[in-house]
């Protein structure tokens, strides 16, 4: 399911060459995808990360709500770390890059259809880095500092963070002054990106 016809046609042609794979159909938006799975028996959905309509995490949740046994593989040319976290957290079973080889794409579909997961190797590397960073944060940040950082990552102002945690706005500022050097951030934006699972230099 991709909004670019050439991508859909290429994938369909690839799958149709395989005796054990059957293409049920193609759509070009998340709304069309939801309508399609509601009417047809589908085992695996290949969903573009940036389809028109719902954001990918919401589309994944909606598809799984429509069919709980559905298996979903996310396909994309480019992504940021927060997007990987979001779609996998929403329930996607695979994450595949469009520059993957023919054999990788087929292996991903078969593995996900068999009830397992598939994450492209380069994506695995980035996820491992984030997990290690998260472990380091857990060791260096206090519980309250982690709470403040998490709320900052959600886009809350100091005032709203203070209200949420039952502390003063000045105390929030104090915690942020302690947190910034611990995570290598120099401003609120870098800290917010870090809280969302992004490195400070991933803004561009």
96 beta partners: 75
Domain boundary among 125, 150, 176: 125
CATH number at residue 24: 3.40.50.2300
Indicate if the pLDDT at residue 195 is higher than 50.
yes
pLDDT band at 90 (very low <50, low <70, confident <90, very high): confident
Q: Residue holding tokens 């996310």?
A: 74
- Segment 158-176 shows an average pLDDT of 93
Name the residue with higher pLDDT: 106 or 133: 106
Whether residue 131 is contained in a domain is answered as: no
Kindly report the length of the chain: 204
Q: Let me know if 181 is exposed, middle or buried by CB neighbors in 10 A (0-12, 13-18, 19+).
A: exposed
Q: Say how far residue 161 (Cα) sits from the centre of its chain.
A: 25
How many CB atoms neighbour CB 203 within 10 A? 10
Residues 114 and 177 occupy one common structural domain:
no
Same structural domain for residues 118 and 175? no
Q: What is the mean pLDDT of residues 31-43?
A: 91
The answer, yes or no, to whether residue 163 has pLDDT greater than 90, is: yes
Do 117 and 63 fall into the same domain?
yes
| 110 and 73 in a common domain | yes
The pTM of the whole model exceeds 0.85: no
- The winner for highest mean pLDDT among 14-18, 81-85, 167-171 is 167-171
Do residues 80 and 112 both lie within one domain?
Answer: yes
Range of the domain at 156: 141-202
Whether residue 104 sits in one domain with residue 19: yes
- Tell which of 94, 125, 156 closes a domain: 125
Residue 201 confidence (pLDDT) above 70: no
* pLDDT value of position 132: 59
Burial 124-153 (b: 16+ CB within 10 A, else e): eebbeebeeeeeebeeebeeebbbbbebbb
- Does 95 share its domain with 159? no
165-to-49, 141, 146 alpha-carbon distances in Å: 34, 16, 12
Number of structural domains in the chain = 2
The reported pLDDT for the residue numbered 202 is 42
Residues 194 and 102 in one domain: no
Query: Is 134 a domain residue?
Result: no
Q: Residue 138: which pLDDT band, with cuts at 50, 70 and 90?
A: low
């Amino acid at each position: 399911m991709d909004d670019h016809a050439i991508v859909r046609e290429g994938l369909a042609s690839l799958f149709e060459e395989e005796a054990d794979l059957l293409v049920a159909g193609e759509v070009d938006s998340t709304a069309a995808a939801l309508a399609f799975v509601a009417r047809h028996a589908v085992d695996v959905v290949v969903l573009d990360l940036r389809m028109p309509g719902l954001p990918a995490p919401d589309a994944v949740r909606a598809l799984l709500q429509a069919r709980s046994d559905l298996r979903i593989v996310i396909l994309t040319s480019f992504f940021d770390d927060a997007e990987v976290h979001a779609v996998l957290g929403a329930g996607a079973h695979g994450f595949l890059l469009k520059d993957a080889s023919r054999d990788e794409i087929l292996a991903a579909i078969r593995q996900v259809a068999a009830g397992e997961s598939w994450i492209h190797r380069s994506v695995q590397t980035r996820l491992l880095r984030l997990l290690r960073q998260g472990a380091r944060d857990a060791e260096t940040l206090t519980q309250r500092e982690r709470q403040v950082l998490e709320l900052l990552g959600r886009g809350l102002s100091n005032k709203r963070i203070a209200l949420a945690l039952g502390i003063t706005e000045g105390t929030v500022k104090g915690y942020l002054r302690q947190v910034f050097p611990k995570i290598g951030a120099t401003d609120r934006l870098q800290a917010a990106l870090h809280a969302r699972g992004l490195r400070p230099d991933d803004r561009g």
